[in-house]
Structure 1
Amino acid sequence: MFKKDISPGSKSKVKSSVQRAIRNQLVTTYPLLAPHIDEIIPKKEQLDAMKIPDRVTLYLIGPTPLFYQHMTDALLPHLRLVHRFPTCFPSIRIDRGAIRFVLSGATLMAPGLTSTGGRLPNGDAEEKGAYGEHGRKDGEEKGKEGWYGGRELEKGEPVVVCAEGKEEACAVGILSMGTKEVKEKGKGPVVEEGHYLGDGLWRLVTE
Structure 2
Amino acid sequence: MEIKRRHHLKKKELKKVLEELRDAFGVEIPKKVKGEVLVVDNYEVMLIDGEPTLFKVEDKLYPTLHCIMKYNIERGKVVVDMGAVRFLVKGADVMAPGIVDADEDIKEGDMVFAVDETHNKPLIVGRALMDGVTMKNSNRGRAIKTLHYVGDAIWNLK
Q: Common fold, TM-score beyond 0.5? A: yes
| Native 8 Å contact 2:126 2:147 kept in 1 | yes
Give 1:1-207 correspondences, 5 Å limit.
Answer: 6-31=1-26, 33=27, 36-38=28-30, 43-54=31-42, 56-73=43-60, 75-113=61-99, 118-121=100-103, 151-204=104-157
Take 1:120 and 1:88, find their aligned partners in 2: how far apart are those partners?
11
Normalised to the residue count of structure 1, the TM-score between the two structures is 0.70
Aligned pairs, number: 158
Take 2:123 and 2:102, find their aligned partners in 1: how far apart are those partners?
16
Greater RCO between the two (CA within 8 Å, min separation 6)? 1
User: Alpha carbons of 1:84 and 1:101: their partners in 2 closer, same or farther (altered >3 Å)?
Assistant: same
Take 1:152 and 1:66, find their aligned partners in 2: how far apart are those partners?
23
Q: Deviations over 1:128-170 (max 9, x none)?
A: xxxxxxxxxxxxxxxxxxxxxxx43100111121002124211
- For residue 87 of structure 1, report the CA deviation from its aligned partner: 4.1
- For residue 9 of structure 1, report the CA deviation from its aligned partner: 3.8
Take 2:129 and 2:91, find their aligned partners in 1: how far apart are those partners?
15
- For residue 179 of structure 1, report the CA deviation from its aligned partner: 1.4
Take 2:137 and 2:155, find their aligned partners in 1: how far apart are those partners?
33
- For residue 26 of structure 1, report the CA deviation from its aligned partner: 1.2
- 172-181 vs 78-87, greater mean Cα deviation: 78-87
Please tell me the root mean square deviation across aligned C-alpha atoms, in Å.
1.8
Structure holding more strand per residue = 2
Take 1:50 and 1:95, find their aligned partners in 2: how far apart are those partners?
34
Normalised to the residue count of structure 2, the TM-score between the two structures is 0.90
**Percent identity of paired positions between Structure 1 and Structure 2:** 23
| Native 8 Å contact 2:8 2:35 kept in 1 | yes
Q: Deviations over 1:42-91 (max 9, x none)?
A: x233211110111x110013421110001312x11111121212244421
Structure whose alpha-carbon radius of gyration is higher: 1
- For residue 184 of structure 1, report the CA deviation from its aligned partner: 4.3
User: Could you list the runs of 5+ residues in structure 1 that have no partner in the other structure?
Assistant: 1-5, 122-150
Runs of 4+ in structure 1 deviating by more than 6 angstroms, as ranges, are none
- For residue 23 of structure 1, report the CA deviation from its aligned partner: 1.4
| Native 8 Å contact 1:86 1:168 kept in 2 | no
